[in-house]
Amino acid sequence: MYKVKVYVTLRESVLDPQGTAVKGALHSLSYSEVQDVRIGKFMELIVEKSERDINELVREMCEKLLANTVIEDYRYEIEEVVVQ
Amino acid sequence: MYKVKVYVTLRESVLDPQGTAVKGALHSLSYSEVQDVRIGKFMELIVEKSERDINELVREMCEKLLANTVIEDYRYEIEEVVVQ
């Protein structure tokens, strides 16, 4: 079994209105030290072992569904979980 | 300057309908190996140095705005960025 962590972030060149809103909210709470906020997604998947290579599987899932590669970048970490 | 990464996830006991929907979509794309999906948020903040302790500052921002601690957990990583 694998525990897969996927991080999806907007590409640098893409505007992030949600991040801008959060930055504004932090400033109005007097956290004026905050210069920039970018918001992304964090996904945790539990994947069973199969004949397919886990790396390839995760990359495929990201490309097809989890990330919109036109405007988003993704990275992932795979951790093998040993079930006792 | 600090680069702060904040990960906000739903607590274990809280249902995640968005995760369930993504799992369903992955299954219908024939990724039946996927047993569970949980979706959270990933935020990247750029914070200027100030007199306040960065750890305390980030914890405060998480508690007050970035996470809803009733249903969400958060963790963060702080990285110091040296501007050349």
Chunked in runs of 10, what are the mean pLDDT values of chain A (84 residues)?
95 94 96 95 94 93 95 95 81
Structural domain contains residue A27: no
Structural domain contains residue A34: no
Q: Chain B residue with minimal CA distance to A45?
A: B37
Question: Which structural domain, as residue segments, surrounds residue B67?
Answer: 2-14+40-80
* Burial state string for A68-83 with b = 16 or more CB within 10 A and e = fewer than 16: eeeebebebeeeeeee
Structural domain contains residue B7: yes
Per-residue pLDDT tens digits for B32-60: 999 999 999 999 999 998 888 999 999 99
Q: What is the C-alpha separation between B35 and B81, in angstroms, rounded?
A: 38
Q: Does A53 touch chain B (CB under 8 A)?
A: no
Structural domain contains residue A43: yes
ipTM of this predicted complex? 0.86
Look up the CATH number of the domain holding residue B6: 3.30.1280.10
Instruction: Specify the number of domains making up chain A.
Output: 1
Q: Does B83 touch chain A (CB under 8 A)?
A: no
